């Protein structure tokens, strides 16, 4: 070995990497605005999550074959890190025997480590072969396929072979104490080359050493310029992940002041994305899992969460020099990102659910919507009408306060202003005042609440939209106005517990109102009813002979992880045969209504999201689709009407429960 050459090589490679890393860091903090680029709170939770998600690779095996291959390579690199350190040290000390003390005389540590190392050499090679098979033979549409990925895989594979070559030649040259069970691969190779001339064995030994060393340094310097930069950035990205509820959008603080200072509301330019958002761009692995599960992509829309991140990152890198020197920038929309991409998102959370490094593309989309809506006034006309409805009469449907209680005609519904304290406030939502199907759900809840002897009330004409639709459109200013007005009303009544039938209302009241002083216990009606049934307060007795498939609302399931209560409730009804769609629970496909899509047509594509989801559900052979969301109910009803061959009923769990308790009154 040559200590001088090793030192020169190391200094040059590490120096080049340091320059590259410094450039990436300067680019990362362009959006810090003088503030600390990252916030580190709830340290214990962050550490636990990092161990599980980053080091434990928790999400990788959601795609089983690729996940297992990735785990093999990842853990292999961790195990082989010690070997790399030993090799570099040998090069500096010009001591070919450095580190062999680990293995001399059959030391326990040496043999155990050597055996584990060789096992992982095999596993890494298998992982490399799996990824080459996927990239060259299978070619999944979700993945970014190119020369870079293949080159990296070949580098990894050659490093493994070089490691075995180094061991085998080293055993022939320096080990004379008999077989070493701790290095089975090296021992196997040494038996094959022990008869070669010593100069040739020395050459093989040197080749194994220098191939390993050079490829490690080459790989290090490739990272900042490839998608494999995530090897360095993924762990901090997971550590600094958003720990707030998934359904909470970060509020724009001091909107009035920002308007006066002519500051951007939302994201207009790449430099306005905060450092954590830029770190997410660095960390994207281009695996395409997000795109594979995106309902917009699945139905031929222009939106691809993966491509969104790639396009933003490419723009960031292409303009790096200008950005760090504060040069003027272009608007992201439409120069970098097509408006169709921005308006196709349903905010269903499928992309974030799948991402192994916890990237939330929808958050960036909402940020860009906020700028387009609040500063440019550039958004689809139907959404403008929804905003006008919320601003003028408190409803995206355009239904005024005087019509809020039309759903309750003929029922004895207590109004909060007319009664004293109540156990629970029933937040009805906007849909029942307009949509006939939602009206029947609200009426069913009234009968169930009365049957259970619950002390309850509604706000009646005082109720207004929670503002969820405005916020997902990007109209943060309107949302905050509505939220503050609603919170003032709720707090004025001393509200502590709220019951909702809409997952969007549930999410906003539960996860977003606390930012504005609204702290309540919010319960979805499926949770509420399941609890009453479990305690025997409500007793479903009349059998209902139906095969039911339950559709998970994104804002109830994936966003708030409420999967079991509606299924428990349905399973408690005699006669119900509950079946599952292949795409269910956290992989249930969106109905297409979230993210304010309820109030506009789908972006151009091959099919409607609602119709694609309807086909997934009816494939189960169910005669009834059950969903616990008025938006989902509307979308499934429309999809059923569009399918002339379909004869599938759409119901809410509350309707089915009431039918089992009092069948003659269930359709009131």
Among residues 622, 616, 538, 613, which one has the least CA distance to residue 577?
622
| Residue at 145 is within a domain | yes
392 φ, ψ (degrees, to nearest 5): -90, -45
- The CA distance from 172 to 665, in Å, is 88
Q: What is the CATH number of the domain that holds 650?
A: 3.40.50.10700
| Residue at 420 is within a domain | yes
In terms of domains, do 87 and 191 share one?
Answer: yes
In terms of domains, do 92 and 203 share one?
Answer: yes
| More reliable by pLDDT, 102 or 543 | 543
Sheet holding 456-457, edge to edge: 456-457, 424-427, 497-500, 521-524
Mean pLDDT computed over 514-519: 97
In terms of domains, do 441 and 527 share one?
Answer: yes
| Residue at 446 is within a domain | yes
Mean pLDDT computed over 559-574: 97
| Residue at 350 is within a domain | yes
330 φ, ψ (degrees, to nearest 5): -90, 160
In terms of domains, do 8 and 145 share one?
Answer: yes
Asked if 165 contacts 201 with a C-beta cutoff of 8 angstroms, the reply is no
Mean pLDDT computed over 403-415: 94
In terms of domains, do 506 and 559 share one?
Answer: no
In terms of domains, do 559 and 653 share one?
Answer: yes
Asked if 555 contacts 544 with a C-beta cutoff of 8 angstroms, the reply is no
3-class SS at 524?
strand
| Residue at 602 is within a domain | yes
Q: What is the pLDDT of residue 533?
A: 97
- The CA distance from 136 to 130, in Å, is 10
Mean pLDDT computed over 96-113: 60
Task: Single out the residue in 207, 225, 243 at which a domain terminates.
Answer: 225
Q: What is the CATH number of the domain that holds 325?
A: 1.10.1060
In terms of domains, do 528 and 593 share one?
Answer: no
Q: What is the CATH number of the domain that holds 508?
A: 3.40.50
In terms of domains, do 262 and 369 share one?
Answer: yes
The pLDDT mean for the chain works out to 92
| Residue at 128 is within a domain | yes
In terms of domains, do 73 and 90 share one?
Answer: yes
Mean pLDDT computed over 527-541: 96
In terms of domains, do 290 and 369 share one?
Answer: yes
Full residue range of the structural domain in which residue 141 is found: 3-24+64-225
Q: What is the pLDDT of residue 595?
A: 95
Q: What is the tally of structural domains in the chain?
A: 4
**All residues at 6 or more sequence positions from 602 whose CB lies less than 8 Å from its CB, including other chains:** 299, 301, 344, 592, 608, 609
| Residue at 33 is within a domain | no
In terms of domains, do 351 and 417 share one?
Answer: no
Q: What is the pLDDT of residue 187?
A: 87
Task: Single out the residue in 478, 510, 532 at which a domain terminates.
Answer: 532
**All residues at 6 or more sequence positions from 314 whose CB lies less than 8 Å from its CB, including other chains:** none
Cα-to-chain-centroid distance, residue 562: 16
Q: What is the pLDDT of residue 95?
A: 58
Q: What is the CATH number of the domain that holds 214?
A: 1.20.950
In terms of domains, do 454 and 577 share one?
Answer: no
| Residue at 600 is within a domain | yes
Q: What is the pLDDT of residue 105?
A: 43
Structure confidence by residue, pLDDT tens digits, 625-650: 999 999 999 999 999 999 877 889 99
pLDDT confidence bin for 179, thresholds 50/70/90: low
Structure confidence by residue, pLDDT tens digits, 591-608: 999 999 999 999 999 999
Task: Single out the residue in 332, 355, 379 at which a domain terminates.
Answer: 379
């Amino acid at each position: 070995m040559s200590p001088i050459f090793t030192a020169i090589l190391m200094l040059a490679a590490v120096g080049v990497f340091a320059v590259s890393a410094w450039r990436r860091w300067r680019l990362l903090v362009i959006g810090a605005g003088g503030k600390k680029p990252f916030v580190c709170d709830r340290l214990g939770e962050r550490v636990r999550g990092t161990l599980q998600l980053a080091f434990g690779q928790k999400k990788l095996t959601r795609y089983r074959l690729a996940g297992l291959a990735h785990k093999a390579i990842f853990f292999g690199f961790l195990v082989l890190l010690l070997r790399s350190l030993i090799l570099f040290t040998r090069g500096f000390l010009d001591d070919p025997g450095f580190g062999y003390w680990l293995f001399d005389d059959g030391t326990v540590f040496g043999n155990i480590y050597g055996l584990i190392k060789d096992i992982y050499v095999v596993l890494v090679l298998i992982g490399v072969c799996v990824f080459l098979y996927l990239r060259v033979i299978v070619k999944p549409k979700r993945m970014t396929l190119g020369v870079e990925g293949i080159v990296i895989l070949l580098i990894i594979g050659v490093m493994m072979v070089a490691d075995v070559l180094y061991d085998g030649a080293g055993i022939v040259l320096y080990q004379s104490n008999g077989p070493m069970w701790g290095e089975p691969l090296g021992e196997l190779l040494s038996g094959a080359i022990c008869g070669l001339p010593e100069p040739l064995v020395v050459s093989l030994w040197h080749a194994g050493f220098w191939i390993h060393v050079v490829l490690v340094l080459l790989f290090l310097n490739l990272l900042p310029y490839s998608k494999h930069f995530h090897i360095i950035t993924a762990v901090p990205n997971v550590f600094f992940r958003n720990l707030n509820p998934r359904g909470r959008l970060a509020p724009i603080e001091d909107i009035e002041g920002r308007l006066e200072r002519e500051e951007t509301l939302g994201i207009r330019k790449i430099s306005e994305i905060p450092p954590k958002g830029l770190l997410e761009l660095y960390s994207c692995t281009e695996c395409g899992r997000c795109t594979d599960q995106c309902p917009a992509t699945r139905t031929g829309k222009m939106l691809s969460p993966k491509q969104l991140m790639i396009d933003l990152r490419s723009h960031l890198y292409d303009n790096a020099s200008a950005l760090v020197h504060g040069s003027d920038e272009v608007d992201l929309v439409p120069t970098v990102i097509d408006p169709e991409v921005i308006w196709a998102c349903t905010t269903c959370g499928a992309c974030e659910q799948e991402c192994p490094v916890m990237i939330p593309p929808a958050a960036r989309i909402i940020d860009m919507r906020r700028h387009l809506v609040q500063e440019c006034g550039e958004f689809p006309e139907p959404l403008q009408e929804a905003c006008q409805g919320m601003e003028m009469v408190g409803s995206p449907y355009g239904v005024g306060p005087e019509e809020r209680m039309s759903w309750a005609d003929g029922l004895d519904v207590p109004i909060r202003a007319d009664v004293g304290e109540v156990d629970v406030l029933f937040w009805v939502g906007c849909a029942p005042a307009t949509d006939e199907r939602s009206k029947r759900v609200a009426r069913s809840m009234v009968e169930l609440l009365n049957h259970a002897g619950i002390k309850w009330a509604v706000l009646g004409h005082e109720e207004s939209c929670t503002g969820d639709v405005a916020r997902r459109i990007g109209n943060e200013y309107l949302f905050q106005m509505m939220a503050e007005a609603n919170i003032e009303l709720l707090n004025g009544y001393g509200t502590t517990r709220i019951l909702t039938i809409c997952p969007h209302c549930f999410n906003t009241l539960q996860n977003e109102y606390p930012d504005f002083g609204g702290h309540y216990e919010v319960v979805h009606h499926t949770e509420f009813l399941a609890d009453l049934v479990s305690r025997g307060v409500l007793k479903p007795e009349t059998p209902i002979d139906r095969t039911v498939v339950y559709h998970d609302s994104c804002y109830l399931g994936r966003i708030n992880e409420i999967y079991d209560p509606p299924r428990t409730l349905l399973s408690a009804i005699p006669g119900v045969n509950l079946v599952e769609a292949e795409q269910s629970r956290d992989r249930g496909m969106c109905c297409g209504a979230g993210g304010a899509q309820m109030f506009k047509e789908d972006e151009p594509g091959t099919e409607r999201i609602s119709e694609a989801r309807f086909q997934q559900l009816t494939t189960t052979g169910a005669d009834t689709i059950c969903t616990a969301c008025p938006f989902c109910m509307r979308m499934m009803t429309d999809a059923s009407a569009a399918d002339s061959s379909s004869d599938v009923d759409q119901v809410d769990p509350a309707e089915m429960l009431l039918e089992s308790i009092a069948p003659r009154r269930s359709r009131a």
